[in-house]
A and B are shown apart, each in its own frame.
Chain A
Amino acid sequence: MRKTIIALTILSIMLLSVSMAAVDSDGDAASQYRWTDRTLYHATCVAKTSASTEDTEWVYPIGMDGSMKEYIENPKTAKQPDQGLSHVVAGQTYEVYFFDISGTFDMTKRDMALESDPIKLYVEPQSVGKLTVNSFTVFTKTNAVSMPAYLLREMSESWGGSPSLHFIGDVANLNYREGTYYTIDMQGSMTALFYEMDADVVIKTFTGSPYLYIGICIVITALVAVTIAVCGRRPKFD
């Protein structure tokens, strides 16, 4: 009798636990991303002094900035622009592209050359994202640097970002949270015209229910409970 009560109690708890639920279907994508995290400006400037150019400046003779213009037209697909002049001569006029202008140039007017395009990954409700970054390359003025790690930052208008460090090849969870999105930054600081990332992003959207598995759990638990109850019963002798 005692064992029967235990079996019934276990069954009751299992049955009471069943409530609303839902199920899954997957969608995935492997993507290449290229983006900047700061706004690039352009100006036609006169060099005040003869000097070397800074890492934050891409300097071309007048009319020779075609590769940069091509990149600005289509930053997602165009090739990396050439690195430009490494020295300027005082009094000469140049096409200068910069994040922060140095004191070498006399600048009168600047144009926005390339608006910052931070990568944003949104996760829809009832979804979970899996991000695997296969490569992360930072293109500086002089070379391309492969980064072994990157920062995944969960952004929210109300509470800002909370970064977490991930390594290349890691699988990072992208959780849905209302009003938030994810950005990816490089680890450390470096002035780069753009970043390039080869990543697999798998967004799993769940639309089903776990009723089947709850049912299986109930049946198996019930069978075991009944077996215990039957085997634990005292034998009756006639």
Chain B
Amino acid sequence: MSDLFKRRESVPGTAQEPAEDERPKGTWEDSGYRMSDEEAHRDTVYHIPNQFMQVVAVFKTQMSLYSKRKSIYLVLVVAVMIPILYVLAKDIFDFGMVAEASGTGLIGALLSMLPFIMGIFTASLCGSVMPAEFNDRSAYMNMALPMSRTAFCLGKYLAGVVITIGVFVFAYGMAMAGSLITYSFFDEEALAKSFTMMLLSVLVYTSFTFAMGCFIKRGATIVSFLIIAIVLPVIELYMFMNSYIDMSGFMLFPNMLPDLACLTLGSNISMSPMGVLNMLVHIVNPASMDLLLSAVISAAWSVAFLVLGIIAIERREM
């Protein structure tokens, strides 16, 4: 955070410049060396940068830390493997059994691991970021810096969001490349809806796991993964199967978005409790989903959990 402190040039006429004879004299006077006020930065006033610049500084630092994370590159390698695995499997497995026979359907089938991987990836990336600060004791150094804790949290959260978007957009690209091997026709509308759902789900998952990391000191990664990928879906599925909520209500749960992103593309399966059940009995019809309402709910969910996380850190005693 070397650029955290910025210099501000003095406004002409306002600085109180002492007269030449009032300046303190030292032993250096004898050396004949002289430096002007500008060269010596005597008229520079230092100040704390604004909130936005604080967020940017933390974001850049966190991105630098993420760039050393092997797990991110591992997921990218898995994404690169999508078309390769498809080429190897297409002759021995009938993908028409798990998805509609179209380019978009195949993309959905190839991305069927999305809910599971998004859960575990965001939990390890965003869920661990704040606990790691305290476990490594670096929080005690960083939070002592003259910056707000809100900016500190926002910068770290945004870095996680950007990395997650990059990884999953890359996976989408790889799945598209895989489907282009066999199919030359795509449902653009489904692709647009699925893409939007994926971006929304990134916000939902990252905010939730980040907030869990702010509340839980140890084991935040596994706890947040279990809650968002297994416990919540099972409870929602139980409510849906017992008619406490109808299908349109069921599809509005934000944590269902990765599943719906796959199912919208034409896949019959996704790697989650709901997605596996949907393979056996079609329980949802993503075509009837209200995407706008879902986006509003997802945005509200993301903001709520992010604010909760920030409040938890603000109130935390060092």
Q: Give the CA-CA distance A23 to B185 in the complex, in Å.
A: 6
Q: Which of A74-82, A136-144, A189-197, A223-231 contacts B (4 or more CB under 8 A)?
A: A223-231
Among the listed B96, B101, B176, B281, which residue makes an inter-chain contact with A213, where contact means beta carbons less than 8 Å apart? B176
Q: Give the CA-CA distance A65 to B180 in the complex, in Å.
A: 59
Q: In the complex, what residues of A have CB within 8 A of residue B268's CB?
A: 173
A206-B187, A210-B186 known; A224 vs B166 contact (CB < 8 Å):
yes
Measured CB to CB, the closest approach of chain B to A7, in angstroms, equals: 10
| Chain B 231-289 interface residues, beta-carbon cutoff 8 Å to A | 266, 268, 281-282, 285, 287
Q: Give the CA-CA distance A10 to B285 in the complex, in Å.
A: 35
Main secondary structure of the interface of B (DSSP, over half): helix
Contact B101 A175 (CB under 8 A): yes
CB nearest neighbor in A for B101: A175
Contact A231 B67 (CB under 8 A): yes
| Chain A proximity mask over B45-81: 1 for CB below 8 Å, otherwise 0 | 0000000000000011101101110000100100010
CB nearest neighbor in B for A217: B173
Among the listed A21, A208, A231, which residue makes an inter-chain contact with B180, where contact means beta carbons less than 8 Å apart? A21
Q: Which of A12-20, A42-50, A97-105 contacts B (4 or more CB under 8 A)?
A: A12-20
Q: Give the CA-CA distance A220 to B184 in the complex, in Å.
A: 23
Q: Give the CA-CA distance A126 to B83 in the complex, in Å.
A: 21
Contact B185 A207 (CB under 8 A): yes
Q: Give the CA-CA distance A130 to B282 in the complex, in Å.
A: 13
Q: Give the CA-CA distance A9 to B163 in the complex, in Å.
A: 17
Q: Which of B23-31, B110-118, B188-196, B308-316 contacts A (4 or more CB under 8 A)?
A: B188-196
Measured CB to CB, the closest approach of chain B to A172, in angstroms, equals: 8
Contact A10 B76 (CB under 8 A): yes
B165 interfacial contact with A, CB 8 Å:
yes
| Chain A proximity mask over B157-168: 1 for CB below 8 Å, otherwise 0 | 000001101100
Q: In the complex, what residues of A have CB within 8 A of residue B59's CB?
A: 231
Q: In the complex, what residues of A have CB within 8 A of residue B99's CB?
A: 173
A206-B103, A232-B68 known; A23 vs B186 contact (CB < 8 Å):
yes
A176 interfacial contact with B, CB 8 Å:
yes
Contact B100 A128 (CB under 8 A): yes
Among the listed A22, A175, A204, A225, which residue makes an inter-chain contact with B184, where contact means beta carbons less than 8 Å apart? A22
Measured CB to CB, the closest approach of chain A to B118, in angstroms, equals: 16
A31 interfacial contact with B, CB 8 Å:
no
Measured CB to CB, the closest approach of chain A to B288, in angstroms, equals: 10
How many A residues touch the partner, as a band?
35 or more
Q: In the complex, what residues of A have CB within 8 A of residue B281's CB?
A: 167, 170
B105 interfacial contact with A, CB 8 Å:
yes
Q: In the complex, what residues of B have CB within 8 A of residue A3's CB?
A: 67
Q: In the complex, what residues of A have CB within 8 A of residue B285's CB?
A: 171
Main secondary structure of the interface of A (DSSP, over half): mixed
CB nearest neighbor in B for A234: B64
B208 interfacial contact with A, CB 8 Å:
no
Contact A21 B103 (CB under 8 A): yes
A224-B163, A228-B66 known; A206 vs B186 contact (CB < 8 Å):
yes
Q: Give the CA-CA distance A66 to B234 in the complex, in Å.
A: 59
Q: In the complex, what residues of A have CB within 8 A of residue B307's CB?
A: none
| Chain A proximity mask over B82-101: 1 for CB below 8 Å, otherwise 0 | 01000000000000100111
Q: Give the CA-CA distance A220 to B195 in the complex, in Å.
A: 12
Q: Give the CA-CA distance A220 to B96 in the complex, in Å.
A: 30
CB nearest neighbor in A for B63: A231
Contact A21 B166 (CB under 8 A): no
A175-B101, A206-B103, A213-B195 known; A23 vs B174 contact (CB < 8 Å):
no
Contact B186 A13 (CB under 8 A): no
Contact A171 B282 (CB under 8 A): yes
Measured CB to CB, the closest approach of chain A to B122, in angstroms, equals: 15
A21-B186, A23-B185, A224-B162 known; A210 vs B76 contact (CB < 8 Å):
no
Q: In the complex, what residues of A have CB within 8 A of residue B66's CB?
A: 228
CB nearest neighbor in A for B284: A171
Show 21 residue pairs from A and B whose CB-CB distance is below 8 angstroms, ordered by the A residue.
A13-B174, A17-B173, A21-B186, A22-B184, A24-B189, A171-B282, A171-B287, A173-B266, A207-B185, A213-B188, A214-B173, A217-B169, A217-B176, A220-B166, A221-B169, A221-B173, A223-B166, A225-B166, A227-B162, A228-B163, A231-B67
Ranked 3 nearest A-B pairs via Cβ = A224-B166, A17-B177, A232-B67
Extra 17 A-B pairs, beta carbons < 8 Å, given A24-B187, A207-B185, A210-B180: A19-B180, A21-B184, A126-B185, A128-B105, A130-B100, A175-B100, A176-B101, A177-B96, A206-B103, A206-B187, A213-B172, A213-B176, A216-B169, A227-B63, A228-B67, A231-B59, A231-B64
Which B residues are within 8 Å of any A CB, using their own CB? 2, 59-61, 63-64, 66-68, 73, 76, 80, 83, 96, 99-105, 162-163, 165-166, 169-170, 172-174, 176-177, 180, 184-189, 191-192, 195, 266, 268, 281-282, 285, 287
